[in-house]
Amino acid sequence: MTVEEHKRFLEQGFDDVSIDKLVDISKIRIDRGRTLERRKKQYVRATKNPYLVRVDKTMVKIKFANNGVSFEEAFENLLLMS
């Protein structure tokens, strides 16, 4: 993911996309046998935009506080749970 793509993904909101164009993350299966780095790549590739997804019929915008857990830590925790 390039810096430009990352910025575009962060800035994309509900009004910018149709729910039908979002990936339903409840249907994504991450291979837990892979390394964490490979699981990250698999998730990003599967979602297209890891910050704007859907769960069934609900659109979800993922944000992280600047003063809390880092994106890296939160993302790793998400992948360890799946």
pTM: 0.67
pLDDT digits over 17-30, tens only?
899 999 999 998 98
Given a contact cutoff of 8 angstroms between Cβ atoms, the answer to whether 19 and 49 are in contact is no
Any idea where the domains of the chain sit in the sequence? 3-81
Between the alpha carbon of residue 16 and those of residues 10, 20, 21, 34, 72, the distances in Å are: 12, 12, 10, 33, 25
pLDDT digits over 5-60, tens only?
878 888 888 888 899 999 999 998 988 899 988 988 888 889 888 889 999 999 99
Residue 29 corresponds to which amino acid?
R
Banded pLDDT at 82 (limits 50, 70, 90): low
Q: How far apart are the first and last CA of the chain?
A: 22
